[in-house]
Amino acid sequence: MNFLNPDNVRLVPGQSVQGIFVTFPGDPGQVGFFVRSVSSVSKPNQGMDIQLRAGVIRFNDVILVLTMIKVASNDTDEMFDIWWNYHSQDGVENFQRISEQDTITVHFYNEQGKGVSFAAENSFQRFFKYVEPIIKKAKPWTEIDFDRSVRGFCAQSYPKENLWDMIELRPDAPGTGPDKPKGADDYDGYIPLDLRDFYSYDPSEGHCIRIIPSMLEQDAVLGNPEEYLHAAPVKSVLRCGFRWVKGFPVAPIPYIPGLGLAVPPDDKEL
């Protein structure tokens, strides 16, 4: 297992990583984030706002776990994306630790080295506890597969502002409401004919297509696919693309266990 000494870490501007760090001999260590802003964060700022988000995406049969840090202050306004590979050398240990530790520390770096560190309540505990069993059910992948999938997904989804919106934690769209339109004909845009049977509408979520998130595909194949359908905005489904499994549409839309689909707010059409 590789332990990091925060005082010895060196990063290039804009770089962000995660790892287990120790602060004194005998310290069992904890998972932390190590980031270097393009601007300078050299001293504590009472006005600094740090937000954390997480999401999981299945891309090319690789399950990508993404955590993001958004930093806003007088000195900087920046986002960092940190990708987790469960099958890396320390991946299993990192997943287990972050699902158990009570705090998460973000270490900021500059040209001289380590600047300041901020510790906050670990809001990722529940998320990582949900994700690990899902990953264990999937076929393992290699480091090369993981790197290619990250690059491929980022090529489709960057800039980072888009990623931040996509993994916004929110409940999945509920079923139908009292003001439900008659059907797909009420949608002003185009819906492929074979998707029209999966159209749904809710006053708070708008026009949707019920799809199976790709990361749940394996469970859907082994079980009842209808139980794995989730309502996603029509825009999201058409942009991401879809394919068919056992007569049901499957789309590579990020899914957050326990919370539902993660889609850009702007895709919602009421």
pLDDT in tens, the chain (270 residues): 577 778 888 898 889 999 888 877 777 889 999 999 887 654 545 567 888 888 888 888 888 999 999 988 776 678 999 999 999 988 999 999 999 999 999 998 888 888 888 888 898 988 898 888 888 888 899 999 999 999 988 888 778 888 887 775 433 323 333 333 457 888 888 899 899 889 988 766 788 999 999 989 988 898 888 889 999 999 999 998 999 999 999 999 988 776 678 888 888 887
Closest to 214 measured CA to CA, from 54, 55, 61, 66: 61
Specify the pLDDT at position 173: 29
Q: Is 270 helix (H, G, I), strand (E, B) or coil?
A: coil
Q: Which of 228, 220, 217, 215 is nearest to 254 (CA)?
A: 215
Structural domain including 261 reads 184-267
Q: Which helix (H) or strand (E) holds 200?
A: strand 199-202
**DSSP tally for the chain: helices H, then strands E:** 6, 15
Same domain, 82 and 130: yes
240 within domain boundaries: yes
What's the CA gap between 97 and 101, in Å, rounded? 6
Please give the pLDDT value at position 163: 82
Q: Are residues 139 and 88 in the same domain?
A: yes
Query: What is the reported pLDDT for 41?
Result: 54
23 and 153 belong to one structural domain: yes
- Classified as helix, coil or strand, 170 is coil
Q: Which of 117, 138, 166 is the last residue of a domain?
A: 166
Gyration radius of the chain over CA positions: 20
The token duo for 213 is 């998130």
CA gap 152, 203 in Å, rounded: 34
On whether both 147 and 239 belong to a single domain, the answer is: no
Residue 212 sits in the same domain as residue 111? no
Looking at residue 62, its amino acid is: V
Verify that 221 and 148 share a domain, yes or no: no
pLDDT of residue 137: 82
Residues in a beta bridge with 200: 208
Residues 25 and 66 in one domain: yes
Domain count for the chain:
2
Q: Give the residue from 166, 198, 217 where a domain finishes.
A: 166
According to the model, what pLDDT value does residue 96 have? Answer: 92
Token pair 């549409």 is found at 249
**258 domain residue, yes or no:** yes
174 occurs within a structural domain? no
b or e along 96-112 (b: 16 or more beta carbons within 10 Å of the residue's beta carbon)?
A: ebbbebeebbbbbbbee
The answer on 202 and 104 residing in a single domain is: no
Residues 158 and 41 in one domain: yes
Sign of the alpha-carbon dihedral angle for 172, 206, 66, 153: positive
Q: Tokens for 151, please give them.
A: 């690059």
Instruction: Tell me if 173 is assigned to some domain.
Output: no
Q: Torsion-angle region of residue 4: left (phi > 0), alpha (psi -120 to 50) or beta?
A: beta
Residues 76 and 109 in one domain: yes
138 and 196 housed in the same domain: no
- Strand-pair partners of 119: 105
pTM score: 0.61
pLDDT at 40: 60
Which pLDDT belongs to residue 82?
94
In a domain, 40, yes or no: yes
pLDDT of residue 43: 53
Which pLDDT score, from 0 to 100, does residue 56 have?
A: 84
What was the pLDDT predicted at 133?
Answer: 84
H helices of the chain, where?
A: 91-98, 125-137, 143-157, 160-166, 217-222, 234-240
Is the same domain home to 149 and 262? no
As a whole number of angstroms, the distance between CA 78 and CA 173 comes to: 30
Domain termination site, one of 166, 199, 224: 166
Residue type, 240: C
Q: Is residue 177 part of a domain?
A: no
85 part of a folded domain: yes
Diameter of the chain by CA atoms? 67
The answer to whether position 178 is within a domain reads no
